[in-house]
Amino acid sequence: MHCVIIHYHELALKGRNRDFFEQRLVRNIRSALKDLRIKRIESLRSRIRVILPPQIDEARVIDRLARVFGIANFSLAQAVPLDLMNPNLDELMQNIGAAVRDRSFESFRVTAKRADKRLVLTSMDVEKAVGKHLCQLTGKKVKLTEPDLTVYVELLTKEAYFSLEKVAGPGGMPVGVSGTVACLISGGIDSPVAAYRMMKRGCNAAFVHFSGRPLVSRASEEKVRELVQTLTAYQYHSRLYVVPFGEIQREIVAHAPAPYRVVLYRRLMIRIAGELAQRERCWGLVTGDSLGQVASQTPENLTVIEEAAGLPVLRPLIGMDKVEITRQAEQIDTFTTSIEPDQDCCSLFTPPHPSTKTRIDDIRKIERAFDIGALVKQGVEKTELSEFTFPA
């Protein structure tokens, strides 16, 4: 039997709730692989087994599983029958020998794990037997530290599984176990990474983008749609709300002192995003703020902006610098899209010298000149909704 053996780490610590987390992980694996003719996905003693049909594209399976949050690592494996009380390793050793015969290596090691402790052979017994067989078969030497090849053997109740490499998963928690959050996504480098990091902690992400339309083109919207489609590979279904924000910005420019405009923009965005978040039953708002990176992200301005929120504001990048954020954007394939030029509402009408130490009393005084409720209603009513799925 050809299969994938999947391991998780953090889920194993969940005690009585472990079944819930594992079932969600199995469900997400099904979603990730649903177009690849895979029928059997099942739990096995702290592992998950995916039975692969003949002639499947293994590279696509690896690519999909490498994006499933909750997976610590996995391996393409072959199964060999195993008698728990009277184990015969001959078939296992013959299959391993056939698998390594065409491999180029000078040193190797065997790493075995015994999931069922009723097995009369210990892990070390299996390692010694398989290692001796491979030495005799190939003439290669055993090297326990940094070998050219590692043979992984897992011993379960009725089968033994072996593989020649492990693939790292993204770790984290399965998407869906931590509720839904509304992620403000600008089209820049930071906000897609912030959304990714919340997904990794088990959150479903609903996206909210503020467009400068009708004062600018739809370029930023197209960019954001591409970013959301990329991120949908991690949660399988996404909803994107696009808010035309240009007219609201123009209203602020006409009646507010220039230094306070950016903070006023952000407070209105937070209010509008909060209204949309209620539609998605979100428990929090997510931003790509990094402390001190731009004028709106000083401690004083972050405090004033958050005061307008009716939900918790989550900032998963708050302690990261631009180099760290950029590195992660490259890892998750959003960086190339994020750096494409566009006109976004964040740069529209930005004053040359924005306030960096805004006081809440000053902002409240300025906001009295506006019908804030009407502006929020305007933004919500003109919002456009798009949906994305993976596989597309």
pLDDT tens-digit series, residues 61-90: 999 999 999 999 999 999 999 887 778 899
Average pLDDT over residues 140-165: 93
Burial class (CB in 10 A: 0-12, 13-18, 19+), 365: exposed
Domains contained in the chain, CATH given: 2-168 (3.30.2130.30), 180-389 (3.40.50.620)
Give 349's pLDDT tier (boundaries 50, 70, 90).
low
CB within 8 A of 55, min separation 6: which ones? none
Q: Which of 258, 254, 253 is nearest to 352 (CA)?
A: 258
Residue 83's pLDDT is what?
Answer: 83
Mean pLDDT lowest among 7-11, 196-200, 310-314:
7-11
Partners of residue 163 on adjacent β-strands: 152
Average pLDDT, rounded, for the chain: 93
